[in-house]
Structure 1
């Protein structure tokens, strides 16, 4: 349990409030716990091609906040497996020690209506996955004074399907 508890405490910038061989509790705010980890003996390792939840997404208020969290995780040895602008969101993906996918993301549009309009348009139909980006280059662009709205705008690269994303 400690390996997973340590990962999530570090990933969330929180702390372990309890950890033994039967249960672990992790918090990242004033609550006693926000994450509970239970080792269930009958389970088998996760298979990437199996059904079930694909990932958990955690949202940030701004691109700057998303990139700051990326830097904090990097400093703790937690490296992303992919950085992608999906159009509706700019996202950085990680895997936990068991291979579960975690997405940290920021919305690229100000309203649900704008997001829906984008997702029902031709560009999203052609490329529902989005365009990969380099987080370090994005940080440098922010530091150089580029505004977040410009940086969050999807760069069109043509057709791209979900098969391009499932290899993680």
Structure 2
């Protein structure tokens, strides 16, 4: 069975409470439940973790090697400046899909650049919590061989 680690970065523990006009009403707990359920439907084991601490996210990524086949990562604000997180992603042989709830390209200019995206397999932005499901769907398609296997 394919195993996917979903990593939520800083402030995502506040989903459903924080800036709901941007990030929506769904809590992180409900989102994780939905992802585990959707994964089960598609024959994918999904495990989720969240941290507000950059080093913990890097540790999760390092520890995933040999345990998980893919990572879905919402790096939150670390997206825009964390070269340490970027290097952590680059240091493992696991495809990573970067996701964002909001369309970071239509927001403040400092959000327009991702230092993590260049070392990720792909990036999905702007679809709210559906961004995570779209990443899971992409992984499912890659595994089934029904998606273009272009590595970017």
TM-score (normalizing by structure 2): 0.24
Structure with higher Rg: it is 1
Looking at secondary structure, tell me which structure has more strand per residue: 1
Considering Cα pairs closer than 8 Å and 6+ residues apart, tell me whether 1 or 2 has the greater RCO.
2
